[in-house]
Chains A and B, each alone.
Chain A
Amino acid sequence: MDVVWYLVLSALIFCIGATGVLVRRSPLVILICLELMLNAGNLALVAFSRMTGTADGQVFALIVMIVAAAEVVIGLGLIVAMYRRRLPMDVDQMSELKG
């Protein structure tokens, strides 16, 4: 299979994830859509790694995975904290950083 197909698929997933981030209102779901975007990036990296024949891309993808895990941990911690403080789980209503 042409590497190009993988790349196109990766772009598609990325854009679907982007749509999800912009369209959904629950912070939890936004985080999940972020995961989608990260995975799209991973796919692209592994595809490039296959194309060049070096394993650098795979190592990069693994590290992206680790970072994604760390980010998920913090994000979910935030969501739990939000829930505990009885804040509305709605990203549109959390706008105190208004200029």
Chain B
Amino acid sequence: MEAIVFWFAALAALVGALGVVFQRNPFYSVLFLVTHLVALAVLFLLLSAEFVAAAQVIVYAGAVMVLYVFVVAYVGGLEDPLTEPSPVVRVLAPLFAVGLFVELCVAIAGSSLKALDSHDAKLAPGFGSPEQIGELFLTRFLIAFEVVSLLLLVAAVGAVVLARREPGDATPPREWG
């Protein structure tokens, strides 16, 4: 049972990823990303990380993707061609990616990673629950928590500054006129 769900979710994730990369219209890329994120949430559930899964759906797929959609709508979907003027990058890039993948697989599956235990650990009850995560955030990882809050504040302020309207900017596109 678990395996089937895994395979389906994995497939969905892969399709989403490939779609992101190979779609010409950015809007479609965003939609594929949403699919991918939801598939990942399912995988998180399989790994007993309920809270993370929920956060993935709500925060990532919900909020961050909505941001993307807004910006894509504002900026306009440019159909950029996938073909490159420079053949070097076109050939080299996928090659390197493949090389990296092979390397990582070798690392993972090979005997060099001794720490990898095929037998899953015994899980304590409440593993991955909001209570545990919350307790961890407020005790062991308090500083990280505070810092990251500050980071969000800074990011928000930065975004406002960056996206300010200056004289001489283009007016928003009037798509319905």
Direct interface between A and B, CB < 8 A: yes
Question: A19-B93, A39-B36, A77-B159 are known contacts. Are A3 and B170 too (CB-CB below 8 A)?
Answer: no
Write out, one digit per residue, whether chain B residues 27-51 have a CB within 8 A of any chain A CB (1) or not (0).
0011001001100100110111101
- On whether the beta carbons of B137 and A59 are closer than 8 Å, the reply is yes
B121 to chain A, nearest CB (A): 3
Complex interface residues of chain B between 71 and 118 (CB less than 8 A to chain A): 71-72, 74-75, 78, 80-82, 84-85, 89-90, 93-94, 96-98, 100-101, 104-105, 108-109, 116-118
- On whether the beta carbons of A74 and B20 are closer than 8 Å, the reply is no
Question: A3-B118, A46-B47, A53-B123 are known contacts. Are A36 and B156 too (CB-CB below 8 A)?
Answer: no
- On whether the beta carbons of B105 and A11 are closer than 8 Å, the reply is yes
A30 to chain B, nearest CB (A): 10
Interface residues on A, range: 35 or more
- On whether the beta carbons of B10 and A9 are closer than 8 Å, the reply is yes
Q: Name the one of B51, B75, B137 contacting A79, with C-beta atoms under 8 angstroms.
A: B75
Beyond the given pairs A36-B17, A61-B49, A63-B141, 7 more chain A to chain B contacts, judged by CB atoms under 8 angstroms and listed by A's residue number, are A3-B118, A20-B21, A50-B123, A55-B133, A58-B128, A85-B169, A85-B170
B residues lining the A interface (CB < 8 Å): 2-3, 6, 10, 13-14, 17-18, 20-21, 26, 29-30, 33, 36-37, 40, 43-44, 46-49, 51-52, 55-56, 59-60, 63-64, 67-68, 71-72, 74-75, 78, 80-82, 84-85, 89-90, 93-94, 96-98, 100-101, 104-105, 108-109, 116-118, 120-124, 127-128, 132-133, 136-137, 140-141, 144-145, 148, 151-152, 154-156, 158-166, 168-170
